Amino acid sequence: MRWPGAIRLDIVNTHPWFVIYDEPESYVLLEPQTGPPNGSNTPIVGERITARVGQPLTMVTDWFVTREQPVDQG
């Protein structure tokens, strides 16, 4: 995600699913997920990951925030 002239957010996640909320307009929420929204009712392409006794479902997410140079408005 980028806010030109302000910051860039790079995210590395062990699972490919995210939910992005953009309501109200002045907010953005990015939430990493271990599966797709409504995953029990949605066909999943690839392997279905299930937590079991002795095999917990884990997720690692790294967030990298980079300050960008202000955009010249001239």
Residue of higher predicted confidence among 71 and 57: 57
How far apart are the two ends of the chain, measured CA to CA in Å? 25
Q: One-letter amino acid identity for 74?
A: G
pTM above 0.75, yes or no: no
Identify whether 47 is part of a domain: no
Identify whether 72 is part of a domain: no
pLDDT at position 65 is 95
Residue of higher predicted confidence among 45 and 66: 66
Residue 45's pLDDT band, with cuts at 50, 70 and 90, is low
Identify whether 17 is part of a domain: yes
Domain count, the chain: 1
Residue of higher predicted confidence among 40 and 66: 66
Are 36 and 42 within 8 A, CB to CB? yes
Which distant-in-sequence residues (6+ apart) come within 8 Å of 63 by Cβ?
9, 10, 11
- Quote the domain boundaries for residue 25: 2-42+52-67
Identify whether 12 is part of a domain: yes
Q: How many CA atoms lie within 13 A of 43 on its CB side?
A: 1
- Over range 23-46, report the average pLDDT: 78
